[in-house]
């Protein structure tokens, strides 16, 4: 990674650690981030987006250890993680106690992934834990793949924008709920369901 980009990532991570909200690139679109354990920051991120109350906020993490700090992984989840992470696959898993209510919306579960984007992983690693990864757009508007396309009304509510160039766009992450030894498709996306089912087999 270029030293200049690494320095910008660290500055954005410092904003997250201080309770700010940041737009940053993922392997699909730009995401809107806050430190997942900071209730005030998470609430501000949801409000900045105009996200409806009661809708959970997805997370991303730098590695499996950071995922385990906020979610419980059984054998099936670990197989999927080993075979399909890093990548655009969000697993809905039982959440650990203590997460802000805006994250799980009272469901007792959390959607989380280790992203394919090196920049997003580095940001989460430098911030010290899992971060919110909802798309960086006003609720109801399409996601953006370039920092310059962020809605002005949204940009005005952020402490920082980590511009690392355009993202690939395409399909959003696939979302599957892991329920014991079963997988349930929540949202189709970049990883075909057949790939998920193949990876789920012991």
DSSP state, 146?
S
Report whether 116 contacts 174 (CB < 8 A).
Answer: no
Determine the average pLDDT of the residues in 65-84.
Answer: 96
Q: Is residue 47 part of a domain?
A: yes
Residue range of the domain that includes 45: 3-71+88-169
Enumerate residues 6+ apart whose C-beta is below 8 A from 54. Answer: 105, 106
Q: Is residue 177 part of a domain?
A: no
E-only strand ranges, 78-141: 89-94, 109-113, 131-132, 134-135
Question: Does residue 80 belong to any structural domain of this protein?
Answer: no
Instruction: Give residue 185's pLDDT band: very low, low, confident or very high (50, 70, 90).
Output: very high
Task: Please tell me the distance from the alpha carbon of residue 18 to that of residue 99, in angstroms, as a whole number.
Answer: 18
Q: How many residues does the chain have?
A: 202
- pLDDT recorded at residue 186: 96
**Total domains in the fold of the chain:** 1
What CATH number should be reported for the domain holding residue 36? 3.90.870.10
Query: pLDDT value at position 91?
Result: 98
Per-residue model confidence (pLDDT) at position 1: 77
SS3 call for 47? helix
The answer as to whether 93 is a domain residue is yes
In-domain check, residue 193: no
Cis amide prior to 86 (ω within 30 degrees)? yes
Mean of pLDDT values over 15-36: 95
Residue 97 belongs to some domain of the structure? yes
Q: What is the mean pLDDT of residues 128-138?
A: 93
pLDDT at site 69: 95
Cα angle 66-80-13, degrees, rounded to a multiple of 5:
25
Average pLDDT of the residues in 164-176: 93
What is the C-alpha to C-alpha distance for residues 78 and 23, in angstroms, rounded to an integer?
29
State the average pLDDT for the chain.
94
Contacts of 7 (CB under 8 A, 6+ apart): none
195 falls within a domain: no
pLDDT of 180 over the 90 cut: no
Tens-place pLDDT, residues 83-127: 999 999 999 999 999 899 889 888 999 999 999 999 999 999 999
Question: Is 35 inside a domain boundary?
Answer: yes
Buried b (16+ CB within 10 A) or exposed e, 55-71: ebbbbbbbeeebbeebb
């Amino acid at each position: 990674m270029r030293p200049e980009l690494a320095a910008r990532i660290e500055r954005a991570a410092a904003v997250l650690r201080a309770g700010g909200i940041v737009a940053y690139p993922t392997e699909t679109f730009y995401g809107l981030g806050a430190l997942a354990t900071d209730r005030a920051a998470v609430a501000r991120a949801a409000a900045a987006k105009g996200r409806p109350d009661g809708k959970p906020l997805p997370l991303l993490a730098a590695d499996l250890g950071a995922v385990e700090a906020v979610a419980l992984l059984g054998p099936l989840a670990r197989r999927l993680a080993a075979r399909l992470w890093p990548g655009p696959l969000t697993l809905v898993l039982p959440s650990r106690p203590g997460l802000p209510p805006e994250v799980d919306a009272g469901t007792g579960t959390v959607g989380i992934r280790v992203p394919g984007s090196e920049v997003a992983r580095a940001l989460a690693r430098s911030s010290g834990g899992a971060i919110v990864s909802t798309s960086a757009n006003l609720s109801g508007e399409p996601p953006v793949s370039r920092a310059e396309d962020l809605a002005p009304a949204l940009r005005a509510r952020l402490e920082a924008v980590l511009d690392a160039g355009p993202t690939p766009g395409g399909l959003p992450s696939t979302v599957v709920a892991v329920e014991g030894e079963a997988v349930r498709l929540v949202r189709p996306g970049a990883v075909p369901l057949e790939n998920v089912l193949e990876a789920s087999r012991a």
